[in-house]
A and B are shown apart, each in its own frame.
Chain A
Amino acid sequence: MAEAAAAKTAPWTGASDAAPALPQKFPWARLLPALGPVLLFVLWDAAVRYGYIKAILLPTPWDTLVALVSGLAGGPLMIDFAVTVKRTLEAFAIAAIIGVPLGVLLGSNERAYRSVEFLIDFFRSTPSSALIPLFLLIFGVSDVNKVAIAAFGALLIVLFNSAYGVMNARKQRIMAAKVMGASRWQIFKDVLIWESLQPTFVGLRSAVSMALVIVIVAEMFIGSDTGLGHRIIDAQQVLNVKSMYSAILSAGILGYALNVLFLVIERRVVHWSGR
């Protein structure tokens, strides 16, 4: 209303005239994230083209991309990719289903957590790949083995983050619930669990990355005839570099995609985070 009245008395308003007069600039800044990858491919191409690196060790980026796309579009790479995704998600699911409830429970009873804290921290600090021989003894050279060890590594991360999420819940929110007459159980289900969600998601995101790393390592070194890890090591043995690099790139794409996926889910679920 005020604007309309102002327009009547003063027909010229600087703001409305100036806006369309601005030249339409192309948003170059939006292309910045693409700069790094393009630069990498240019350098890569130059290194191969001018013979700094032998073509037998490094194919051109174009050849690699073609191998990647054709491999993923129904080729053998696609099957290995799918197998690795399946193992990673299985390991992750086990870790999440056990880790989140157990972590929340341990976190809500600080004494219980303190009594197992050293174990959690110790095995969290132990590279899971160092435990592969141990898991070989227990599970043998099987598919279960690869999922089990990845689940173990991921589980500890989930557990740790969920437990700390509960322990570090904002004291004032707990006090607010308490002063409104909430019982211990009501504080647990209405405050603590919600407060732990954000750190839990950080844990889940790290856990899915960890599961992927361990699955790939396990596929490389525990007798396997499927999976990206198996494909990478096999291709390397016979110097099939195009296949090797395309498998490496697809493992990278998988890791990146999983991370983005979990970030998106996290933002949906923990919508209040950081606000």
Chain B
Amino acid sequence: MNDMRPINVAPVADVPVAPFVPGPAGTHITIRGLTKYFAGWPLYENFDLNIPKHKIVSVFGPNGCGKSTLINMIAGLVPIDAGEILFDGKSLADTKIGYVFQNYREAMFPWLRTIDNIAYPLKLAGKSKAELDRRVAELVASFDVKFDLNRFPYELSGGQQQTASIMRALAPEPEVLFLDEPFSALDFEMTLFIREKLQEVFMQTGTTMMLVSHDLEEAVYLADEVLLLTKRPTRIAEILRYGDARPRTVATLSEPSFIATKKQSLEIFQREVRR
């Protein structure tokens, strides 16, 4: 039946295949040719991006440019139409990730006690009871938790719930942590508190993080890189590096380097919004 073969096989050889271009050294997530259509319109078309390892990248851009969609596609929550996303050369299936949702109320499982919520990803991974307890104790210590984890999530305040959901995301020691506007539903006091916790965790573990934020100050404050996006079809407007040493504090907010980065981000953002 050899003579049948050419009829059924697509003429692959005729289509020029874009060679896979790896990112620079220290790249963690490589995104190549990412394409996503929404209702027939391109949201992302042939989008390439390198996310560096052990860094925090803040994603910032105009409304509707698909900031959340971008991290959701990388995290596998939204299917992509074409393209390739690799984590250190591996597929998502071989990569441990954590995800923190904006709406903690609908992200936690209210039928489980908070402590069991935090341990849930460990249970999924088939960890033993002892390993599970050890890891939760570790998280409790590093987050300096003052509230009762034996309560149900709905018995906690918003900030406590979001703290717990960050602990849950970090429990399996993920390679990448995605945060989709994690502070938007919180009051200012809690936002500051969790922001500091996040910075502490990052300094301890160096976990690669991608943060979607609609607050520019917060985006720059936490970031090593600010990824500024254009209006749709979305492209990279600019990637700004911000290198002030951690721990960053309130004093950081008045450093010239911080102010300059923030100002530049704002200018690019405004340019893109008007375009």
A residues adjacent to B (C-beta < 8 A)? 170, 172-173, 175-176, 178-182, 186, 190-191, 194, 197, 271-272, 275
Contacts and interface: CB of A to CB of B under 8 A. Distances in A.
Nearest to A176: B107
Contacts of A271: 152
Interface string B75-113: 111000000000000000000111101010011111100
A178 B77 CA distance: 8
Given A179-B99, A182-B124, A271-B152, 9 more contacts: A172-B101, A173-B107, A175-B101, A176-B109, A178-B76, A180-B172, A181-B124, A186-B124, A190-B109
B120 interface: yes
B152 A181 contact: no
Given A170-B106, A182-B124, A176 B99 contact: yes
Closest 10 CB pairs of A and B: A272-B110, A275-B154, A180-B121, A179-B99, A172-B106, A194-B111, A176-B107, A170-B106, A175-B77, A181-B124
Q: Which of A173, A175, A180 has the most CB of B within 10 A?
A: A180
A271 B107 CA distance: 17
B104 to A, nearest CB: 10
Contacts of A178: 76-77
Nearest to A269: B111
B255 to A, nearest CB: 35
A172 B111 contact: no
Nearest to A170: B106
Contacts of B168: 180
Dominant secondary structure at the A interface? helix
Given A179-B75, A179-B76, A172 B103 contact: yes
B111 A272 contact: yes
B77 A194 contact: no
Question: What does DSSP make chain B's interface, helix, strand, loop or mixed?
Answer: loop
A191 B154 contact: no
Contacts of B96: 181
A194 B76 contact: no
A176 B178 CA distance: 12
Contacts of A186: 124
A173 B106 contact: yes
Which size class do B's interface residues fall under?
20 to 34
A196 to B, nearest CB: 11
A181 B125 contact: yes
A272 B152 contact: yes
A194 B124 contact: no
A197 B178 CA distance: 30
8 contacts: A172-B101, A175-B77, A179-B76, A179-B99, A179-B178, A180-B121, A272-B110, A275-B110
B262 to A, nearest CB: 31
B89 to A, nearest CB: 20
A176 B101 contact: yes
Nearest to B153: A272
B93 to A, nearest CB: 9
Nearest to A186: B124
A197 B109 CA distance: 13
Given A178-B77, A179-B75, A172 B107 contact: yes
B189 to A, nearest CB: 20
Contact of B109 (A175, A181, A191): A191
A275 B75 CA distance: 29
Contacts of B154: 272, 275
Nearest to B103: A172
B111 to A, nearest CB: 5
B107 A180 contact: no
Nearest to B117: A176
A6 B75 CA distance: 54
Contacts of A173: 106-107, 109
A191 B108 CA distance: 10
A126 to B, nearest CB: 35
A10 to B, nearest CB: 29
Contact of B124 (A170, A172, A180): A180
A181 B121 contact: yes
Nearest to A172: B106
Nearest to B178: A179
